[in-house]
Amino acid sequence: MMAACAAAENGANVTLLEKNEKLGKKLYITGKGRCNLTNNTDIASLLEQTVTNPRFLQSAFHAMDAHALMLFFQNLNTPLKTERGGRVFPVSDKAQDITNALTSRMKQLGVKVKLNCVVDNITHTTDGFKIATKTVDNRHIFHSNSVIIATGGLSYPSTGSTGDGYMFAQQLGHNITQTFPSLVPLTVHEEWVANLTGLSLRNVKCTARLHPNKKPKILYDEQGEMLFTPNGITGPLVLRASAYLTEVLARQNEQQVVIEIDLKPALTHEQLDARVLRDFAESQNKNFANALDGLLPQRLIDTVISLSHIPPDKKVHTITKKERMQLVSLLKALPLTPAKTTGYSEAVITKGGVTVKEINPSTLMSKKAPGLFFAGEVLDVDAMTGGYNLQIAFSTGYLSGRSAANYESEV
């Protein structure tokens, strides 16, 4: 939609082919239906939060940065607000308002929209492009000097993201890097997580290491919020971790990735030991099972006791220093062994896509097929949570649309 707006604003005659029954289907589920459309930050931070091929996106971010995007929607009578972490939402908390704004802008600009229009294939000839489509009623061939592929990736296939863009790109001579689900929950081997289903932990630290290495490589190390699921973990901290783990889990022996959750990241081992000593001093005649209330969420206590190998009915004053240090180490590094991701059906984005080496970053035009442009998740670019991936979509949409219009005017 942003590509269509930008192309039409720059004088092109634009037709948008949408295989779904309505526009913006994926926008409806972003930000839990509230649409976290960008992050209120500068270009340097946008690049910093981009995990894959950030340098490729410099021109796109300069064409439309976060503040230009916010102004775009505010000028379309869609007021926005900035929340914790710079995340930007419509004031209404309704993703529908973002879709409505884009739809009304396309209407103003005369963009033709074809719903329930499935593209079968795209061919490149000396006369431009032939786009073969089918609808419920008939088949039709569209002809154009330029085409923008903005089909998304493979995540949330129920919204129509079924990898069509990769097929079109390959038909037109492009290579696709291996794809993986990303920003996605993880399943783990530990069965005890099932007992903690629904438990949310705030201000914990997640460290993921590659094992067994002589020097274990840290893949991810951040602090935030996480949530236990019946067979694994999710939440902002875990989704961010998955951006660095999904490829490793898919390619390596699954036992080589180890996650440690630091339940008390604000305290050093020594400080936490002193805290435990104080708590134990106040509970010295209690059973161990009744001495952790001030230290842990109630639902986590039984699990920690089990993993500590300290008998729950052992009197606190009989706990040895070795046992206490084992407890402290456990609280600083609760071990989890990730098995795999929960797949594309729960992945916020797709990692991988059309190889950016084959695309001009200044225009997003193909180096292999003049007049062919790419935008959004179909490209091999991805970023962290917090509005950054939608910003990539809008920025690349805007640049590809503007570039396609300029190309049209020249041919």
Whether residue 161 has pLDDT greater than 80 = yes
The pLDDT tens digits of the residues spanning 327-357 come to 999 999 999 999 999 999 999 999 999 999 9
**Global pTM value:** 0.93
* pLDDT for position 32: 86
* pLDDT for position 212: 66
Mean pLDDT, to the nearest integer, of 177-196? Answer: 97
The pLDDT tens digits of the residues spanning 187-206 come to 999 999 999 999 999 999 99
Compute the C-alpha angle 348/353/355, nearest 5°: 145
**DSSP β-bridge partners for residue 257:** 210
What is the four-CA torsion angle of 87, 88, 90, 92, rounded to 10 degrees? 30
Domains present along the chain, CATH in parentheses? 2-180+350-410 (3.50.50.60), 185-342 (1.10.8.50)
The pLDDT tens digits of the residues spanning 21-50 come to 999 999 998 888 999 999 999 999 999 999
DSSP per position, 370-395: TTEEE-GGGBS-EE-TTTHHHHHHHH
The pLDDT tens digits of the residues spanning 118-156 come to 999 999 999 999 999 999 889 999 999 999 999 999 999
Mean pLDDT, to the nearest integer, of 95-113? Answer: 98
Residue 286 near residue 183 (C-beta atoms within 8 A): no
* pLDDT for position 216: 73
The pLDDT tens digits of the residues spanning 203-242 come to 999 999 987 666 778 999 999 999 999 999 999 999 999 9
* pLDDT for position 2: 98
The pLDDT tens digits of the residues spanning 164-176 come to 999 999 999 999 9
